[in-house]
Amino acid sequence: MKSSGPNTNESWWRQYNYWHETVLAMLIVGLLLSASVLSPSFTTVKTQVGLSSDMWELALLALPMTLIIITAGIDLSIGSIMALSAVVLGMTFEAGANPWVAAMCGIMAGTACGVFNGLTVAKLKVHPLIVTLATLAAFRGIAEGISLGRPISGFPASFTELGTGTFGGVPIPGLIFGVLALLFAIALARTPFGLSIYAIGHNPLASRYSGLPVARITVAVYALAGTVAGLAAAIYVARRNTAKADIGTGLELDVITAVVLGGTSIFGGSGRILGTLLGVLAIHQTRKFVGWYWDREELNFIVVGVLLIAAVLLNRLFDKKTK
Amino acid sequence: MRYLLALCAVSVLALVSGCGGDSEAPKTTVTVKEGSSITIALLPKKKGIAYFTSCAEGAEEAAKALGNVTVIYDGPTDGSPEKAASMIEKWTLKGVDVIAVSPNDPSVLAPAMKAAQAKGIKIITWDADAAPDTRSFFINQATSQQIGEAMVDALIKDMGSVEGQVAIVTATLTAANQNAWIDAMKARLADKYPKVELVAIKPCNEDQKIAFQVAQDLMKAYPDLKGIFGISSVAFPGAAEAIKQAGKSGQVQITGLSTPNAMKNYVKDGTVKSVVLWNTKQLGFLTVLVAIAVKDGTLKAGATEFDAGTLGKKPVVGDQVLLNNLLIFTKDNIDQFDF
């Protein structure tokens, strides 16, 4: 419940802060209702749990991407970081390491990539679009270079459980995502770290003059993206039982689409984890339903394109600044 | 009159089917049981390229001819193995009867293929194979031996003589497919054309410019060279261009393995007389027939022959069904193929 505020003349819907999320949720419910009529098997729990396995990497990466976009930044390199982490994981495992140790090495490699992105953005003052466009190519290049494009598989079943197992009927990657989403939401909405992220997105110069450690926070959000990309890579490797250099290709576009669809302003300063969750869900459900009902892969590109435009229009409709 | 004709037709049919029943051949003709239907998902390596589209056309033809068969043709438009694996997972949830996979990365697809098998869905591979424990049968368009022999026979025919020097332009010296073909080609030459001398095997590293250069060098080094094999889809057009630019069309023959569209111009201007490939539509057609036979249990491990109806009887070697129908594209028939 939101208080109606001092200005009682203004109708309640102008005060309501969650229009974007509400409309998005209604769209998702509408889609699922139509889906249950057109193809009842699509909305069963079994199908939804089965199809969800494709969503977790996207969902995980959307969390730190929300933070980055709120700082008015962007990270195009997360798909490539995933690839590099996966290759590090695979090669460490192949060298005889325990797969869980290998996964930690992969996550550390991902974090290192993120720190590199963050430092270049914060210290060298290069636009994040340029920095991560460069590392998008560079990290994948390194991944391909050190693995020579060779896939590594043969992970033990105890490790592949990370990607394919369930706990109490919920897929394990889903549980990991649930915990992380909660942490991200709290960190963003309720901590000084989160508030600084909004402040940097609104006005980096004013943030710096008011004593915020802008550089440190910037490095932290990009590093966080690297860490989560490393984690997503471990889940991916476990799920497909293969580590190779071409995973996550083009994933950054899906992630950015989900975040923007979820109401985070691409110009920074506003956005919420709740919106991102709905954005991920909207993309996932739409895409899976199109695939389920029509079995035509090429339609998916159109759907994602239309969704992105819809997101921007939706944002403009509810963005108070444009009123 | 019409009734009479119909009656004749019916009686002829009855006669034919009666004869079929009497003959000693085991009855393995593929049919779909009345009142039942079957759904087959056909997964290409990449959707939207002419080669696979023409395979899918053949699969659709088979579905139409049999009735009660639904073929879902879908695959990643970017060739991504992850998307292919997701599709297998989707079809597993949907509960299709058979998934026919052309794997673009067998290791990535393996978990999804095994999970589908665990749910009772039949998995077969076509066009390219995967690990044997992830599928029951592989529909193989041609064995290395058949491909090697077809290329040798085509070049000898184009040369119009059973003696002279020939050379091979291959992909890389370590390419497994090409090396298997080269072995088959050497065996065929030694066996049937002992007076044909294979003077060189040169790699082009899958670069058309290098293939062009290599072919030029070969013609200089061996002025009496009679023929070249371009045994990759890159080596073939590269070497053909070199022969054309050297003005040696007709003097030096060239053949190889490629899709008809890539070679159409060279075939029309006479540089290339024969292009070897399999019948892609028949590959799709056969895949659907095998899918049905695997599903209803008429094709089991240990079979040695598969009755593919209008395509004739196809040999089954181990767990592979062979299409056994290499096509030679020449200037007379190449316009009938568009892929």
Residue of B47, B90, B111 with shortest CB distance to A51:
B90
Residue A111 is assigned to a structural domain of this protein = yes
In which residue ranges of chain A is pLDDT below 70?
1-10, 13, 319-323
In chain B, residues with a C-beta closer than 8 Å to the C-beta of A53 are 89
Residue B335 is assigned to a structural domain of this protein = no
* pLDDT tens figures, B143-198: 889 999 999 999 999 999 999 999 999 988 877 778 889 999 999 999 999 999 99
Asked if B148 and B268 sit in the same domain, the reply is yes
Q: Are A177 and A56 in contact (CB under 8 A)?
A: yes
What is the C-alpha to C-alpha distance for residues B298 and B283, in angstroms, rounded to an integer?
19
Q: Do B47 and A239 touch (CB under 8 A)?
A: no
Q: Do A41 and B105 touch (CB under 8 A)?
A: no
Confidence (pTM): 0.81
Residue A280 is assigned to a structural domain of this protein = no
- Parallel/antiparallel/unpaired status of strands B305-307 and B313-317: antiparallel
Taking each helix axis from N to C end, the angle separating B81-94 and B106-118, rounded to the nearest 10 degrees, works out to 10
Residue of B86, B93, B107 with shortest CB distance to A242:
B107
Least confident of B37-46, B169-178, B264-273: B169-178
Test mutation, A47, A246, A295, chain B, max B CBs within 10 A: A295
Domain that residue A172 falls in: 46-249
- For residue B23, report the phi and psi dihedrals to the nearest 5 degrees: -65, 160
How many CB atoms sit inside 10 A of residue B188's CB?
Answer: 19
Q: In this model, does residue B11 exceed pLDDT 80?
A: no
The number of domains in chain B is 2
Q: Do A297 and B47 touch (CB under 8 A)?
A: yes
Residue A120 is assigned to a structural domain of this protein = yes
Q: Can you list the alpha helix ranges (DSSP code H) found in chain A?
A: 12-15, 19-38, 45-52, 56-70, 78-94, 99-123, 128-147, 157-164, 172-190, 192-202, 204-209, 214-240, 251-261, 273-294, 298-318
What is the C-alpha to C-alpha distance for residues A97 and A90, in angstroms, rounded to an integer?
10
The distance of Cα B225 from the centroid of its chain, to the nearest Å, equals: 30
Residue B338 is assigned to a structural domain of this protein = no
Give the contacts of B56 (CB within 8 A, at least 6 positions apart). Answer: B42, B44, B71, B73, B284
pLDDT confidence of residue B29: 63
Residue B14 is assigned to a structural domain of this protein = no
Give the contacts of A91 (CB within 8 A, at least 6 positions apart). Answer: A146, A147, A152, A243
Asked if B243 and B307 sit in the same domain, the reply is no
- CB neighbour class for A20 (10 Å; exposed up to 12, middle 13-18, buried from 19): buried
Asked if B45 and B122 sit in the same domain, the reply is yes
Percent of chain B with pLDDT over 90: 61
What is the C-alpha to C-alpha distance for residues A106 and A92, in angstroms, rounded to an integer?
8
Q: Do B89 and A295 touch (CB under 8 A)?
A: no
Percent of chain B with pLDDT over 70: 91
The number of domains in chain A is 1
Residue B16 is assigned to a structural domain of this protein = no
The distance of Cα A93 from the centroid of its chain, to the nearest Å, equals: 26
Q: What is the per-residue DSSP string for A245-313?
A: TTTTTTHHHHHHHHHHHTT--TTSS---HHHHHHHHHHHHHHHHHHHHHH--THHHHHHHHHHHHHHHH
Residue B12 is assigned to a structural domain of this protein = no
CATH classification of the domain holding B301: 3.40.50.2300
* pLDDT tens figures, B82-107: 899 999 999 999 999 999 999 888 88
Asked if B161 and B230 sit in the same domain, the reply is yes
In chain B, residues with a C-beta closer than 8 Å to the C-beta of A41 are 94
Domain that residue B70 falls in: 27-135+280-322
What is the C-alpha to C-alpha distance for residues A233 and A103, in angstroms, rounded to an integer?
9
pLDDT interval class at B78 (50, 70, 90): confident
